[in-house]
Amino acid sequence: MGQSIIEKIWEQHIVHQEEGKPDLLYIDLHLVHEVTSPQAFSGLRMKGRTVRRPDKTFATMDHNIPTDNRKVINDKIALNQMTTLEKNCEEFQIPLAGIDHPDQGIVHVIGPELGLTQPGMTIVCGDSHTSTHGAFGSIAFGIGTSEVEHVLATQTIWRQKPKTLKIEINGKRQQGVSAKDVILYVLSQYGFDFGTGHVIEYTGEVIDHMSMEERMTICNMSIEGGARAGLVNPDETTFSYLRGRKYVPTGEAFEQLVTKWQSLVSDEDATYDRVITMDAANIAPMVSWGTNPAMTSKVTDSIPTSSDYETAVEKKSLESALKYMGLEEGQKIEDIQIQHVFIGSCTNSRLEDLREAASVIKGNKVHPDVRALVVPGSQTVKSLAEEEGLDEIFREAGFEWRDSGCSMCLSMNNDIVPSGEHCASTSNRNFEGRQGSGARTHLVSPIMAAAAAIHGHFVDVRKMVERQPVR
Amino acid sequence: MTGFKTLKEKAIAFDRANVDTDQIIPKQFLKRIEKTGFGQYLFYEWRYMADGSLNPTFELNQDKNQHASILIANENFGCGSSREHAPWALLDYGFKVILAPSFADIFHQNCMKNGVLPIALPKEQIVQLLEKGKQQPYQLEVNLEKQTIGDETGFQVSFEIDAYWKTMLMNGWDEIEITLQLADHITAYEQALR
Ligand code: SF4
Q: Which region holds residue A294: left if phi is over 0, alpha if psi is between -120 and 50, else beta? A: alpha
Dump pLDDT digits (tens) for A171-226: 999 999 999 999 999 999 999 889 988 999 999 999 999 999 999 999 999 999 98
With CA atoms as reference, report the closest residue to A75 among B48, B96, B45, B31: B31
What is this structure's pTM? 0.86
Q: Which residue of chain A has the CA closest to B30? A: A35
For residue A425, the cross-strand partners are A342, A443
Q: Measure Cα distances from A154 to A70, A133, A158 in Å.
A: 35, 22, 11
CA A238 – CA A374 distance, rounded (Å)? 27
CA A90 – CA A438 distance, rounded (Å)? 39
With CA atoms as reference, report the closest residue to A27 among A62, A58, A61: A58
How far does the CA of residue A93 sit from the closest CA of chain B (Å)?
19
User: Which chain B residues contact residue A52 at CB under 8 A?
Assistant: 186
Phi/psi at B18 (5° precision)? 50, 40
CATH number of A285-463: 3.30.499.10
- On the question of pLDDT at B24 being above 80, the answer is yes
Q: Measure Cα distances from B166 to A390, B2, B174, B181 in Å.
A: 59, 13, 11, 17
Taking the centre of ligand 1 as the mean of its atom positions, its distance from the CA of residue A108, in whole angstroms, is 8
Q: Which residue of chain B has the CA closest to A53? A: B190
Q: How sure is the predictor about B81, in pLDDT bands with cuts at 50, 70 and 90?
A: low
pLDDT on residue B80: 63
With CA atoms as reference, report the closest residue to A126 among A97, A146, A153: A146
* CATH topology (fold) of A5-276: Aconitase; domain 3 (3.30.499)
Question: DSSP states of B138-178 as a string?
Answer: EEEEEETTTTEEE-TTS-EEE----HHHHHHHHHT--HHHH
Interface check for A17 against chain B (CB to CB < 8 A): the answer is no
CATH number of B6-193: 3.20.19.10
| Sign of the dihedral defined by the CA atoms of residues A225, A230, A233, A234, in that order | positive
Query: Could you give the residue ranges of the DSSP H alpha helices within A284-413?
Result: 312-325, 351-361, 379-387, 390-397
How far does the CA of residue A105 sit from the closest CA of chain B (Å)?
21
- On the question of pLDDT at B2 being above 80, the answer is no
Q: Which region holds residue A242: left if phi is over 0, alpha if psi is between -120 and 50, else beta? A: alpha
Beta-carbon contacts of residue A292 (< 8 Å; ≥ 6 apart):
A192, A224, A321, A430, A431
Q: Is A60 in the pocket of ligand 1 (CB under 6 A)?
A: no
For residue A123, the cross-strand partners are A29, A140
Dump pLDDT digits (tens) for B103-149: 987 688 789 888 899 999 999 999 999 999 998 899 999 999 999 99
A 10 A CB-CB count for B40 gives 12
Q: Which region holds residue A27: left if phi is over 0, alpha if psi is between -120 and 50, else beta? A: beta
User: Which chain A residues contact residue B113 at CB under 8 A?
Assistant: 146
Single-letter residue type at B28: Q
DSSP secondary structure code for residue A32 in this structure = E
Q: Is A63 in the pocket of ligand 1 (CB under 6 A)?
A: yes
Q: Which residue of chain A has the CA closest to B176? A: A150
CA B108 – CA B77 distance, rounded (Å)? 9
Phi/psi at A376 (5° precision)? -60, 150
pLDDT on residue A468: 40
Taking the centre of ligand 1 as the mean of its atom positions, its distance from the CA of residue A345, in whole angstroms, is 6
Taking the centre of ligand 1 as the mean of its atom positions, its distance from the CA of residue A276, in whole angstroms, is 27
Contact yes or no for A15 and B33 at CB 8 A: no
Q: Determine how β-strand A57-60 pairs with β-strand A122-125.
A: unpaired
Taking the centre of ligand 1 as the mean of its atom positions, its distance from the CA of residue A406, in whole angstroms, is 5
State the closest ligand 1 atom to the C-alpha of A377, by its place in the atom list counted from 1. 1
Nearest CA to ligand 1 atom 2: A409
For residue A281, the cross-strand partners are none
| Sign of the dihedral defined by the CA atoms of residues B58, B59, B60, B64, in that order | positive
CA A459 – CA A333 distance, rounded (Å)? 8
Q: Is A409 in the pocket of ligand 1 (CB under 6 A)?
A: yes
How are strands ordered across the β-sheet holding B156-158? B117-120, B97-100, B70-73, B6-14, B138-143, B148-150, B156-158
Of A15, A144, A145, the CB nearest to B186: A15
Dump pLDDT digits (tens) for B92-106: 999 999 999 999 876
Q: Which residue of chain B has the CA closest to A49? A: B176
Contact yes or no for A15 and B175 at CB 8 A: no
pLDDT on residue B36: 83
Q: Is A200 in the pocket of ligand 1 (CB under 6 A)?
A: no
How far does the CA of residue A42 sit from the closest CA of chain B (Å)?
7
pLDDT on residue B82: 61
Taking the centre of ligand 1 as the mean of its atom positions, its distance from the CA of residue A443, in whole angstroms, is 14
Ligand 1 pocket mutation pick from A37, A107, A127 by most atoms within 8 angstroms of CB? A127
Name the 3-class secondary structure at B181. coil
Q: Where are the domains of chain A?
A: 5-276, 285-463
Residues with pLDDT less than 50, chain A:
467-471
Contact yes or no for A156 and B179 at CB 8 A: yes
